[in-house]
């Protein structure tokens, strides 16, 4: 936990063993009520990661709202980031199911009722009530509803 960091857990949130959370200076991780986080999930925030209510996050999911390390070219000039920065919030809606070993990258918003298939790498926003799969994740089904 960094200086001024916030880790907010709502009621009835269940976090299994082996999970790893880092919350950097002035960053926030917030987990909504009735959310289940399985074993060995890694959530790393240097900005903001918000997980909605009634979500299922499967084993070994990884979320990072920042680029891991600075990359320089051979002349030691800083890499130019096309998005204008190294951090961007992750927002996960309500009733979202994230499958085994999925990766959620910085700046992503996942809509309510979405499903992220196992092993997917999410590099673009996910609309509500759809399934995405692959690396990078693509929409494979729309207008879905899943039961818990």
Residue 76 pLDDT: 65
How crowded is the C-beta side of 98, counted as CA atoms within 13 Å? 34
- Would you say residue 77 has pLDDT above 90? no
Torsion of CA 105, 44, 89, 6, to 10 degrees: 170
Residue at token pair 């959530």: 43
CA-only gyration radius of the chain, Å:
15
6-142: CATH architecture: 3 Solenoid (2.160)
- Cα 116 to Cα 139: distance, rounded to the nearest angstrom: 9
pLDDT in tens, 92-101: 999 999 999 9
Eight-class DSSP state of 49: E
pLDDT band at residue 148, thresholds of 50, 70 and 90?
Answer: confident
What pTM does this model have? 0.89
147-36-10 Cα angle (round to 5): 115
Specify which residues 121 forms β-bridges with. Answer: 103
Name the DSSP class of 87.
B
Positive or negative, the CA dihedral 53, 56, 57, 63 is negative
Whether residue 56 contacts residue 32, with contact meaning beta carbons closer than 8 Å, is answered with no
User: Over the stretch 20-67, which tens digit does the pLDDT of each residue have?
Assistant: 999 999 999 999 999 999 999 999 999 999 999 999 999 999 999 998
């Amino acid at each position: 936990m960094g200086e001024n960091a916030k880790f907010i857990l709502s009621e009835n949130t269940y976090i299994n063993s082996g999970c790893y959370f880092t919350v950097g200076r002035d960053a926030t991780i917030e987990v909504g009520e009735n959310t289940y986080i399985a074993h060995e999930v890694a959530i790393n925030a240097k900005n903001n990661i918000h997980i909605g209510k009634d979500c299922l996050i499967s084993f070994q999911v990884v979320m990072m709202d920042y680029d891991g390390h600075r990359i320089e070219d051979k002349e030691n000039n800083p890499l130019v980031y096309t998005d204008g920065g190294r951090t961007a919030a992750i927002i996960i809606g309500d009733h979202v199911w994230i499958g085994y070993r999925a990766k959620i990258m910085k700046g992503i918003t996942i809509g309510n009722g979405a499903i992220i298939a196992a092993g997917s790498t999410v590099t673009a926003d996910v609309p509500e009530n759809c399934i995405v799969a692959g690396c990078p994740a693509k929409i494979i089904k729309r207008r879905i509803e899943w039961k818990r």
